[in-house]
């Protein structure tokens, strides 16, 4: 920059920003619920009240991304192309079936690690059904380290929601989760988000919820406080 | 250090992520990178435009931007048009670096010509243009060579309004009201209040929209030191795309006479 002349709006460039937002997923016996709020923020400003961050992929897995929105959108787009039959590695042609959710979970880990030295700044969760038809949830860090969970929260209200889920759902698969009905799980998800909205300024506006069963994927939209 | 910086600091410090040169080469051998600086494209904006504001109304979209291009705090060029007609159904508005904006104008123009050559009756609709622009912006940010702009794309195609935002980091969103720069702080609350109090864009008439836009531009001129009371307003509605010649709104400065210090 020239002597004595300074740029008026930005002083330093970063390829990343934090768009806030919260996501969570709970695995049930034969279903999975995965949800995210729809607020998109930057600093103290709300960009929009409806910017989806939970995406239904073409193989009936559902991917939720919090963190840097632009990376999340790019990641979802790239993965969906990869599992389609007509592009990329032709998974469906090669195997004559849709990719399973556990396989998709591994694909996401590999994709994230592929950008280990210029990471996708996303905290992702994958929800779906495993090969036995049981609900499954996978949680990730931005460079692809992942693990299967019974329930998982991520994003700006992770610290508020995860302890609540641990108490209501249980940490291990042999705990209460197997007994929880879909109705109770949906109630827990709504409670988690309404509570988080009270204290986290980056969470609010709407919950977008995806319910995955053998029959398919159902979407619900519920209002949250907009303040 | 604000919250955002704290988050990014741990993640994007070069020394934590990149393998260090001294780890890869023995000490007594010269580094392959000796005397070569890392590629650093990132610049900073030079000649800049300030806020763009836009809202949806019943049957269309309206957008406005003033005609000032600043050189730092110097009001350098006072007749630069920052609203650009892309197609018969879409207008692009730009905040930030003017030369990068002109580069994008040129690029979009070439895209339009390429598409026209097909002569297949298909037209690029606003969502297509938006997706293209997002890909360009995200690609450049990923090369660490960003186009230093915040773009607002407004369109109306097949009786559907489109209003989207994309910036130098590739961040995108769509909304009933959008405001960039200072407008995000000063105009956005006014725009949202105007639209929400009427129960949504479908209850905002074109006359309402003009009044709302002009009120916002007046507030911006009062408070944004990089603004100018000379602006253009674009209306994109069914079978109509119009960008006004630059014009002004009435201002009232008499109240300023009595203000001393911070105006308490």
pLDDT in tens, B125-172: 999 999 999 999 999 999 999 999 999 999 999 999 999 999 999 999
**C-alpha–C-alpha distance, residues A98 and A84, integer Å:** 9
Q: pTM of the entire structure?
A: 0.87
pLDDT at res. A128: 97
Q: What amino acid positions of B are annotated as catalytic residues?
A: 42
Contact between A34 and A62 under an 8 Å Cβ cutoff? The reply is yes
Contact between B227 and B68 under an 8 Å Cβ cutoff? The reply is yes
Number of other residues whose CB lies within 10 A of the CB of residue B235: 22
Q: Given pLDDT bands bounded at 50, 70 and 90, which one contains residue A3? A: low
Strands (E), B111-259: 149-157, 160-167, 172-174, 177-179, 231-237, 240-243
A137-141 average pLDDT score: 98
Residue B238 tokens read as 């069914």
Residue A66 tokens read as 């919090």
A14 to B8: CB separation less than 8 angstroms, yes or no: yes
Strands (E), B58-203: 60-66, 69-71, 74-77, 83-87, 90-97, 149-157, 160-167, 172-174, 177-179
Most confident stretch, A95-109, A149-163, B35-49? A149-163
pLDDT at res. B30: 59
pLDDT at res. B258: 83
Here the CATH number for the domain that contains residue A173 is 3.60.20.10
Is A192's pLDDT higher than 50? yes
B245-259 average pLDDT score: 91
Cα A5 to Cα A34, B76, B181, distances in angstroms: 50, 14, 20
Q: Given pLDDT bands bounded at 50, 70 and 90, which one contains residue A178? A: low
In a domain, A55, yes or no: yes
Most confident stretch, A83-92, B4-13, B207-216? B207-216
Q: Give contacts of B12 with chain A, Cβ < 8 Å.
A: 14-16
What are residue B90's phi and psi, to 5 degrees? -145, 140
Architecture field, domain B47-243 = 4-Layer Sandwich (3.60)
B65-91 average pLDDT score: 97
Higher pLDDT, A215 or A12: A215
pLDDT at res. A93: 66
pLDDT at res. A90: 64
Place of tokens 């610290």: A159
Number of other residues whose CB lies within 10 A of the CB of residue B192: 17
Residue B42 tokens read as 């990132």
pLDDT digits (tens, 9 = 90+) for A9-54: 555 799 999 999 999 999 999 999 999 999 999 999 999 999 999 9
Interface of B with A in 39-78 (CB under 8 A): 42, 44-46, 48, 70, 72-73
Determine which helix (DSSP H) or strand (DSSP E) holds A136, and give its type and residue range: strand A135-140
In a domain, A6, yes or no: no
Strands (E), B113-159: 149-157
Higher pLDDT, A4 or A121: A121
- Tell whether A117 is within 8 A of chain B (Cβ): yes
Is B263's pLDDT higher than 90? no
B82-108 average pLDDT score: 97
Helix, strand, coil share of chain B (percent; to 5): 35, 25, 35
**C-alpha–C-alpha distance, residues B240 and B89, integer Å:** 8
In a domain, A8, yes or no: no
In a domain, A9, yes or no: no
Query: Domain residues for A164?
Result: 16-223
Which residue is closest to A4 within chain B, CA to CA? Answer: B72
Instruction: Looking at the complex, report in whole angstroms how far the Cα of residue B144 sits from the nearest Cα belonging to chain A.
Output: 7
The overall average pLDDT reported for chain A is 91
Which residue is closest to B175 within chain A, CA to CA? Answer: A48
Determine what percent of chain A is predicted with pLDDT higher than 90: 80
List where CATH 3.60.20.10 sits in chain B. 47-243
Provide the domain count of chain A: 1
With 0-12 / 13-18 / 19 or more C-beta atoms within 10 angstroms meaning exposed / middle / buried, residue B134 is buried
B4 to A43: CB separation less than 8 angstroms, yes or no: yes
């Amino acid at each position: 920059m020239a002597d004595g002349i300074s740029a008026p709006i930005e002083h330093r460039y970063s390829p990343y920003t934090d768009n806030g937002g919260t996501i969570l997923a709970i695995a049930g016996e034969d279903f999975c619920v995965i949800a995210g709020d729809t607020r998109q923020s930057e600093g103290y400003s709300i960009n929009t009240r409806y910017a989806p961050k939970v995406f239904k992929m073409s193989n009936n897995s559902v991917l939720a991304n919090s963190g840097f929105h632009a990376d999340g959108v790019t990641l979802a787009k790239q993965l969906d192309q990869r599992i389609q039959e007509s592009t990329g590695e032709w998974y469906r042609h090669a195997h004559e079936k849709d990719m399973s959710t556990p396989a998709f979970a591994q694909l996401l880990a590999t994709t994230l690690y592929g950008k280990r030295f210029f990471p996708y700044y996303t905290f992702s969760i994958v929800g779906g059904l495993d090969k036995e038809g049981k609900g499954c949830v996978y949680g990730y860090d931005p460079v692809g380290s992942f693990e299967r969970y019974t329930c998982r929260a991520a994003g700006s209200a992770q610290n508020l929601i995860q302890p609540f889920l641990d108490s209501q759902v249980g940490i291990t698969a042999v705990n209460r989760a197997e007994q929880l009905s879909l109705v109770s799980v949906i109630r827990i998800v709504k409670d988690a988000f309404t509570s988080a909205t009270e204290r986290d300024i980056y969470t609010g506006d709407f919950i977008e919820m995806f319910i995955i069963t053998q029959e398919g994927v159902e979407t619900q939209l519920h209002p949250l406080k907009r303040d | 250090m604000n919250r955002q910086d704290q988050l990014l600091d741990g993640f994007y410090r070069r020394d934590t992520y990149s393998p260090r040169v001294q780890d890869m080469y023995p000490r007594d051998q010269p580094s392959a990178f000796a005397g070569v600086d890392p590629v650093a494209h990132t610049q900073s904006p030079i000649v800049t435009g300030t806020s763009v504001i836009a809202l949806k109304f019943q049957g269309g979209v309206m957008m406005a931007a003033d005609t000032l291009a600043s050189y730092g705090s110097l009001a350098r060029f006072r007749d630069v048009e920052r609203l650009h007609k892309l197609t018969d159904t879409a207008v692009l508005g730009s905040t930030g670096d003017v030369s990068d904006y002109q580069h994008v104008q040129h690029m979009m123009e070439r895209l339009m010509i390429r598409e026209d050559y097909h002569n297949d009756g298909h037209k690029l609709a606003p969502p297509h243009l938006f997706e293209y622009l997002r890909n360009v912006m995200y690609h450049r940010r990923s090369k660490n060579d960003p186009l230093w702009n915040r773009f607002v794309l407004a369109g109306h195609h097949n009786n559907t309004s489109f209003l989207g935002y994309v910036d130098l980091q590739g961040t995108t969103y769509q909304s009933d009201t959008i405001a960039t720069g200072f407008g995000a702080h000063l105009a956005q609350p006014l725009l949202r209040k105007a639209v929400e109090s009427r129960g949504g864009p479908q209850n905002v008439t074109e006359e309402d929209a003009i009044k709302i836009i002009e009120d916002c531009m007046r507030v911006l001129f009062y408070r944004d030191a990089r603004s100018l009371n000379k602006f253009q307003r674009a209306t994109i509605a069914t079978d109509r795309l119009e960008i006004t010649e630059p014009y002004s709104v009435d201002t009232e400065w008499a109240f300023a006479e009595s203000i001393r210090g911070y105006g308490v």
